[in-house]
Amino acid sequence: MGNKAISPVGDDWDTLRETLLTPEERAETDIKIALLGEIINARQSSGLTQKELEAASGVKQPVIARLERGSTDPQLSTLIKVLAPLGKTLAIVPLDREIHRPTP
């Protein structure tokens, strides 16, 4: 008998994800995860708190917190405002380009 934990959602997230989401939904989810990871990593790497990012971007701290949690679908203008003080911007790339997920 192994030490593998039993998950209430099945063997693993990838299997569940393949079952529940369409390819389009999976692609959208991957992009959102990559974007949120970039924002969080850039803010933390810059040594900024959410409150300091608020002062630099003009986007209220609770909005930044919801954005980082993934519990909101922000407007494009909000993303651009948050990214600018972090030295980042958005780019349009071909769909076949690999999406790089941030490492935890």
Closest CA to 86 of 42, 50, 45, 55: 42
Phi first, then psi, for residue 41 (nearest 5°) are: -60, -40
Computed over its alpha carbons, how large is the radius of gyration of the chain? Answer: 17
Residue 80: DSSP 8-state: H
Does the pTM of the predicted model rise above 0.85?
no
Residues 102 and 38: beta-carbon distance below 8 Å: yes
For residue range 43-99, list pLDDT tens digits in order.
999 999 999 999 999 999 999 999 999 999 999 999 999 999 999 999 888 877 655
Residue 29 clears pLDDT 80, i.e. is over it = yes
For residue range 5-18, list pLDDT tens digits in order.
555 555 676 777 77
Domain ranges of the chain: 13-86
Q: Which CATH superfamily is domain 13-86 in?
A: lambda repressor-like DNA-binding domains (1.10.260.40)
